[in-house]
Chain A
């Protein structure tokens, strides 16, 4: 009897959770109409915003992999002075309000900074460009990849790594042949979370991106603008479109991953 009531209680709480997530989603539906959805879907501005959002967020995932996996490896495998600090730095972007992050990036890369001028002299203009969007999105979303990949590396049996070394493999060979494949699932999860975070990013992006339609306006900015100008129906329609696109891509990715895991 006792175990039954425990299961029941847990299920009830899970039910509350489901409501917490699903009800706001349903509320969005009520604020718009199917006609509006089609309308927005046909709008070239919206389509361009979707394209820009997808393009930048996918590039962010690639950059996060290149930059984040080595950091995850370091944190998982080695102990060194300052490891605590590095670990905290990884958490920092998550704790920072996105607007603050945007402000920081603006100051660092903007017109008044030496660093920014240096980059501009090399021909790299990050403010008010797609590159700016990518930087802002990368800043706020890379911690998810690092944390997930780190957990994946840490959960690998240390003896398996040692076995590879004793068989004559270098650290790089071991990383490539043993660590990466065994950490695959954790890395994929990290990629998904990073992508989701990048896609939904608004605060930091609005500071450095520019929000020019067809050039640097992302989905999130488009939603915000419509909402701010009182066009609730339009903004919810755009929001729903974003959700549909994200869900579809997510499902495709997850099914491919499941297929490979074997």
Chain B
């Protein structure tokens, strides 16, 4: 019976030790040189490249969290704290600045919407074709992703009523729209040019300048951030950073 009592003591001791270890490692991460960047999924390729180059130059590792802008914005609202936030449009930048999470933001590049269709599908060639009920469309959901808001703005500018369109599905993220068009599940969609170029498996139709709604990609510096953040943002907005963005099909802010 005494042995059993000893075992109990040991268990309590081990448990406490375990808890300490875990918490120490959890907190330890904050101390090491690492930047946390929340960014829209569409910017993965250029930002990854920038991250690697930055690490080489400054010795600071950049950790990215890529998701839909809406999801990332919500994560910040409920308490997560990245150092930098790069959404696909300024909608969330505005919301977070208002709520006091974002200190300031500067545009680095533009997201340009384009029409995409499955390869070999010539049914849709202009915005006007969106009104043809024979054309099955998939569009971004306004609530869930930045491209949704952008498409809505384009239709408004061009005087097209969305209620008259044959919209078969609402995408929760821009990548989902690309996936659907790649799989020939609809005749046309509107996505960011960068996503269309990255896919390579869809046909791109440009939208006329007068109707188009370019979305600025803001680089938001968060209110609480590490000191290395300044260097990172500087790098992003500098010549090298912008060149990388251009390479991946983004139009940069000169």
Chain A complexes with chain B: yes
A interface residue numbers (CB < 8 A to B): 103, 106-107, 110-112, 127-128, 206-207, 209-213, 216-217, 221, 224-232
How far apart sit A224 and B144, CA to CA, in the bound complex (Å)? 8
B interface residue numbers (CB < 8 A to A): 68, 70-71, 73-74, 77, 92, 95, 118, 136, 138, 141-145, 167-172, 176, 179-180, 182-186
Is A128 a contact partner of B144 (Cβ separation < 8 A)?
A: no
19 contacts between A and B (CB under 8 A): A103-B179, A106-B179, A106-B183, A110-B184, A111-B184, A111-B185, A112-B183, A112-B184, A206-B176, A210-B138, A211-B171, A211-B172, A221-B172, A225-B143, A228-B70, A228-B143, A228-B145, A230-B73, A231-B143
8 Å CB contact of A226 from B68, B143, B168, B169 = B143
Is B70 a contact partner of A128 (Cβ separation < 8 A)?
A: no
How far apart sit A244 and B192, CA to CA, in the bound complex (Å)? 40
Chain A residue with the shortest CB-CB distance to B70: A228
8 Å CB contact of B172 from A112, A216, A228 = A228
Residues of B within 8 A of A112 (CB): 182-184
How far apart sit A228 and B77, CA to CA, in the bound complex (Å)? 11
Q: Give min CB distance, B13 to chain A, whole Å.
A: 18
How far apart sit A226 and B143, CA to CA, in the bound complex (Å)? 7
Is A227 a contact partner of B74 (Cβ separation < 8 A)?
A: yes
Q: Give min CB distance, B154 to chain A, whole Å.
A: 19
How far apart sit A30 and B92, CA to CA, in the bound complex (Å)? 24
**Residues of B contacting A: mostly:** mixed
Is A224 a contact partner of B172 (Cβ separation < 8 A)?
A: yes
Residues of B within 8 A of A209 (CB): 169
Is B143 a contact partner of A229 (Cβ separation < 8 A)?
A: yes
How far apart sit A128 and B136, CA to CA, in the bound complex (Å)? 10
Residues of B within 8 A of A230 (CB): 70, 73-74, 77, 92, 95
Chain A residue with the shortest CB-CB distance to B139: A212
How far apart sit A110 and B186, CA to CA, in the bound complex (Å)? 9
